[in-house]
Amino acid sequence: AVNAVSLGKHGVVELLFKIIGPFSKKNTSLMKVALDTLAALLKSKTNARRAVDRGYVQVLLTIYVDWHGHDSRHRYMLIRKGVLQCIKSVTNIKLGRKAFIDANGMKILYNTSQDCLAVRTLDPLVNTSSLIMRKCFPKNRLPLPTIKSAFHFQLPVIPASGPVAQLYNLPPDVDDVVDESDDNDDAETESEIETENDDDKDQHFKNDDIETDINKLKPRQELGRSIEELKMYEQFFPELSENFQELDLVSKEPKPFVPDANLSGPIVVPTASEE
């Protein structure tokens, strides 16, 4: 992300838009590499905002329609997919989605996807177009006064707290439909102002799904029987009752060697035989 922002500040995004262009059978390899690089750079929100401000969303749609119309034998499917990847990266921000809708992008991708349905090899284009349209389609309010079902089924256990309990405790006249469509009518820019250094924040994020408590990762195993039931085996398992930390099992001072009286005398090898 930091490299993408740095390249964007030095005008690489504008340079790549000069390389890509309408349909041409020349330098198709260069076109493919330029589109892949541009799609990676546009994943940065700063570069995506810069592309939207310069009107490059309309340029991408125009290029895609031109390649779609001329590539009748579908030899340049990867180039067409590269253009869609650039559009997909731009529409990750709210300004990009708004520019996509204003440029009639929904109708363009819908019509081009309909033309690709008959060819199985063009399924990647249809899938990418569907993802872009689903992401940019305006969120509409549910045509319901409440999210509660007309059929009531009493739960066997209603939790004391949580979203289910809040739903059951709401008065009957309260509007409980979750409405996120208000954001689509705003003509203002994104609510939070992102600086150029915000793109590398994902490198320092905290994953809440990772458990850091060692006691939870390695729970203490409980005995299958109580201590009273295991006392009959105390002589076989002294570790259950005795505290070995209090015992001086290893002496810090070395003890002098005292020869045993039984060890005195000649050494007799049992396997040796006298002649």
What amino acid occupies position 183? D
Q: In the numeric block, which tokens belong to residue 118?
A: 């008959």
Per-residue DSSP letter, 94: H
In a domain, 211, yes or no: no
Q: Which of 39, 36, 34, 44 is nearest to 6 (CA)?
A: 44
The total number of structural domains that make up the chain: 1
Q: What is the CATH number of the domain that holds 32?
A: 1.25.10
Structure confidence by residue, pLDDT tens digits, 80-90: 999 999 999 99
Distance of CA 120 to the CA centre of its chain: 29
* Planar angle of CA 21, 23, 24, nearest 5 degrees: 95
**Residue span of the structural domain in which 49 resides:** 2-136
From CA 254, how far away is CA 268, in angstroms rounded? 30
Per-position b or e across 69-108, b if 16+ CB within 10 A of its CB: eeeeeeebbebbbbbbbbbbbbbebbbbbbbbbebebeeb
The answer to whether 44 touches 199, Cβ cutoff 8 Å, is yes
Tell me the longest C-alpha to C-alpha distance in the chain: 116
In a domain, 116, yes or no: yes
Model confidence at 210, pLDDT cuts 50, 70, 90, reads low
Higher per-residue confidence, 222 vs 260? 222
In a domain, 233, yes or no: no
Structure confidence by residue, pLDDT tens digits, 155-209: 666 677 777 677 767 766 666 565 554 444 444 444 444 444 454 454 444 445 5
Q: Which of 44, 38, 76 is nearest to 60 (CA)?
A: 38
Structure confidence by residue, pLDDT tens digits, 133-159: 999 998 877 776 666 666 766 666 667
Model confidence at 274, pLDDT cuts 50, 70, 90, reads low
Per-residue DSSP letter, 10: T
**What pLDDT, on the 0 to 100 scale, is given for residue 134?**
94
Model confidence at 254, pLDDT cuts 50, 70, 90, reads low
In a domain, 249, yes or no: no
Most confident of 63-67, 164-168, 207-211, 250-254: 63-67
In a domain, 150, yes or no: no
**What pLDDT, on the 0 to 100 scale, is given for residue 86?**
96
Segment among 2-11, 46-55, 65-74, 102-111 with least mean pLDDT: 2-11
In a domain, 47, yes or no: yes
In a domain, 215, yes or no: no
In a domain, 181, yes or no: no
Q: In the numeric block, which tokens belong to residue 28?
A: 């198709």
Model confidence at 229, pLDDT cuts 50, 70, 90, reads confident
